[in-house]
Structure 1
């Protein structure tokens, strides 16, 4: 398309006249005159003012020229970058030419056509203002070329040249576009539209006759777009409908369609394409936001592990800051904290980089060592020609999950150890019952004056010490018998403080800090005392040179209990007891093991390793939880949470008041059922010594046979709980069906709660825990027979 002749002169744009040269000339002349006057009258002031007047325009000229040159260079560089791709992709020989015909850039077809490589003939730049191509003879061989050119605005003396070898014009019949979905127009050399098809007329909102009447210029149909060049005689423009808004089109020109200089062009509607591009751009933006706002780390890695793209979460997990610019081009191998002597992490990471589907690697980074992450691989994206393969990986923070896994493993281990400890304790209780019992029998025959008395007492005292260790094992395994009461732990701790101060010594200070509105708890008071004593003694041992122990109590609501994940407690209100010391602390590698039975860091003989395991078992059996927090050199804090007692809940049965020691002898008939021979023999001999008639059975079946025989009236049955074939509760139920008045005592090395919850609530019996002494057995038998 050609612009109106008034805007062009031989293809060159007229420059507007400026008043600046006149001003500069005036200042220079005036300055020279002032200098002359100053010399003539010998006045330095006139000469100085004149010199300044001359210097101002000269400096302005110099600065302006420098700025103009710099801006022109920048604009030329921008122009070359914008037009370069279109020229390179064109199948027509094209070149950008500067002042003096200097060729700045040309494409491959230009080179193949053997066109000038450095400068073009001056005649090629003298093209008509309307852009009509001119014909020239290229060389002595008579090759004819057609040269078309247009200025490259806004530059002066810069042109875009298109050169074709003449081989006869291609003619297109405009009739084929009459009913096409493409617009078609014809125009003469002056840019006057001489014909259009119906499609283009409809787009313009005009009739075919009106547009093709020869009264409209092509510039009335199109407005050139900002980036109009689109290739070989193709350019982008905005079509100008009569009533609607302009819309984008692409115009493909055809030279000399009908001969005689007539030109035509196809018009392609780009609205759908533009909408598709906009939709694609919006989709890309939404997808970018989706990636950036994703709660997991997402990144594109090279096969070597370098980061090509990443979202903020990925950067934060790897570097500790959510700045993606800091991680781009970084190699993850340099950022990962590789475990020493462990090859699995490196092998898993290599699988991820290889793009093996379904693989993952557990990683820690140097910048965020407290965070454990897991990186997952996606299937490797195939690279195109010249591209490097890319892996899309996802990374999540699994620190909380790893902590829960560790807690679960520790809980399972503690449960397993507890079951083992409970079983061992049961067997030991049977042995200790026999040892203590036979010691009591010996003591009935060997008084203090007897030479054997000290030896027997030594055996019994050590047996009692062993029984105490077994009770600690049962406490850890949560299988001991508790006698809970509703208490205010402030009163309990205040009463216990005197004993605690004697235990810790004068060089350690003990502080108690109680909340005013502290709730009540339901615990076994003696066992709670044992918990506090064990924790305080441990704190004392950690402060050999003295220090301070603080016991604090306060209420803990549902949120706080839930926030301490390691507690693993059901929702509810709790009372918290904190025991804090400022001792040497517990090493991190030791901390997970402190509640395990027989684990101790003390010297040999300084402890059994059951103190904290006993605390753990008592707290757990009470329905609470305990955790320890410690840093080497910064002391240790144990936190205990116990369920807060709700008013109106079942109260503990009050213990009977102390009374005078009852008689232990009698003449009733008692059936002893015990599979352990030593325990059975002791019980039989003890009760016979006290005057009772005693029957014995080693199994439940033997006991039932004695009952069904009916040869003796049985008043009381003393039975072990755990026996082969038939257990004690089953025996008791069947015996009471045959003897409704029968009274029953159950004995066991396990806690009463372990089996009572699985029994028929209507089954009445009295429980006696092993190990028991001769005195305890005789007193309880007499109480049950008397109905007390």
Structure 2
């Protein structure tokens, strides 16, 4: 249809106007669709790049976490070996005494057998039996000390399980016995308690550090006037409480908030690293427990450790247990 002229102006038919409008709308729609696709493609590419960057960052963080955990494990193990090294002379004495007893009894039996030509009288035979029994007791003492040292010196100690708290305390006492003997009487108040959820070696490390710390708070040569007390009891339905108390010099109030800080120590240079109590704090916190201290100068100090019982931890979801394992030790 052609446009008609009316009084000097053109009149475009209505149908053509609608056609032009429709084409404009289609063009606008196509432009909008193209722009949307373009923006969508840009957004998808940005998302892919950011996702790739996040994956790489996450991989680096995972590797850093593994390295940090390995470094923490090495630090804990180094502290444990350093503690055993400090006790080496005393441990040698603890092993040497029963060994000397064993050798002496075996020498006696040998001499008796030589003297009697292998046919001792009933009295002599009974004496030799008693000597051999005493030698066996001495050998058992050595075996137990070596067993406890083996637990403490084991580097692969991440696996948790049900641990007997009382047995772990007594193992730590055996290792620290020489350090304690000349400073205080050991008093035990050990109730039977459920097993706790912990790595055995690390728990022994905590108890050993606390016992040595208690011993060093008391001057040597005053064992009759001082005591170190260890106790166990239930603390609510899901926790076991362990206390290590001493009647030593006590801790000044200004130091109480700092004693769990790494490298803080009041001991002379070369005597302590300042890591013992910090290590104890890290281990117990990583197990989902708690450690606290109360002290009075001139009266003594008490460390209290709360540990979750094994049954309570077994009820946790695996992810929750994983979170506890990944805490800094």
Higher relative contact order structure (alpha carbons within 8 Å, sequence separation ≥ 6): 2
Q: Which has the larger helix fraction?
A: 2
Structure (1 or 2) with the larger CA radius of gyration: 1
TM interval, shorter chain, is: 0.3 to 0.5
Q: Which has the larger strand fraction?
A: 1
TM-score between the two structures when normalised by the length of structure 2: 0.48
